[in-house]
Amino acid sequence: MALLHSFESSGNFLFRNRGHIPVILFILAVPIIYITNISYLTPTWEFVIQMVAVSISFAGFLIRAVTIGTTPAGTSGRNTKEGQVANELNTTGIYSIIRHPLYLGNFLMWIGIVFFTYNLYFVIIISLGYWLYYERIMFAEERFLEKKFGDIYIDWSMKAPAFIPAFGSYKKGDIPFSVKSVLRREYSGFLATVFGFVFIDNLRQLFTDGTFNILRASNIAFFITLIIVLVLRTLKHHTTLLDESGRS
């Protein structure tokens, strides 16, 4: 198999199995938290690190929200678990400054959680691992788009970077932002992110003093988030309140 086809095939395989990444991160985080020395951190510095970590993840969520909220059904950026989907090519809005905004959003959401472990080496390792993993996925997606849209795709790809936004090339899109789309599609990812922070927070407390406090602030935040998510899931599957025509 030619290297080009090998990259494309492995990228499609990794795309279909990308849901395993959170599980791997949680498993790796256990020994990392156990061996990480935090005794040198003052309460002030620990608070600063926590706020930076949460801010990074929130920035990732905002990027995903903007992307999801301005993407119509059947366009690039609406890939499914089974494969690539694109009846039209997104080249305006957030897609005018970056070709893979959802993957940038994913990276920031998860690297914020990794940063919350207080281990810089872990941040670097996961960042490199994420790039190696998603580079193949992006390659496979772009091969699909190039085959389908030809010169239109090539012209767009020459202007919009793959992963680092070029804000100067922003072009306003025609699709208005939809809060309903975000509420309908992003609640599970938001819950997973909150769970990641809570998991690490409780694990660190367990390793530090051997206790588990269900009334810890992070646990209360998780339970509140869980209730909101259950409400949104119920609205999505049992009502039409979040339905919109022309949106996925």
* Alpha carbon separation from 26 to 21, 196, 208, 218, 240 (Å, rounded): 9, 8, 18, 17, 35
Question: Which residue's entry shows tokens 């909150």?
Answer: 194
pLDDT in tens, 135-152: 888 888 888 888 888 998
pLDDT in tens, 132-191: 888 888 888 888 888 888 998 999 999 999 889 999 899 988 889 999 999 999 999 999
Structure tokens at 134: 């998603």
Predicted pLDDT at 79: 53
Identity of the highest mean pLDDT range in 21-25, 81-85, 226-230, 239-243: 226-230
Tell me, what's the pLDDT at 220? 97
Residue 107, amino acid: F
Give the type of residue at 22. P
CB atoms within 10 A of CB 234: 11
Residue 50 has pLDDT above 60, yes or no: yes
Structure letter (DSSP) for residue 95: G
Helix residue ranges, H only, the chain:
3-16, 21-35, 43-69, 101-115, 120-149, 151-159, 179-185, 187-209, 217-238
Residue with tokens 């390792």: 125
**Predicted local confidence at residue 143, as pLDDT:** 85
Between CA 66 and CA 102 the distance in angstroms is 9
Contact criterion met (CB below 8 Å) for 102 and 64? yes
Q: What is the Cα–Cα distance from 247 to 232, expressed in whole angstroms?
A: 17
Mean pLDDT is lowest, of 5-9, 41-45, 243-247, for 5-9
pLDDT of residue 39: 87
- Indicate whether 194 pLDDT > 60: yes
Q: 3-178, what's its fold? A: Four Helix Bundle (Hemerythrin (Met), subunit A) (1.20.120)
DSSP 40: T
Instruction: Report the C-alpha gap between 134 and 153 in whole angstroms.
Output: 20
Q: For residue 88, list its beta bridge partners.
A: 75
Q: Average pLDDT, stretch 63-85? A: 71
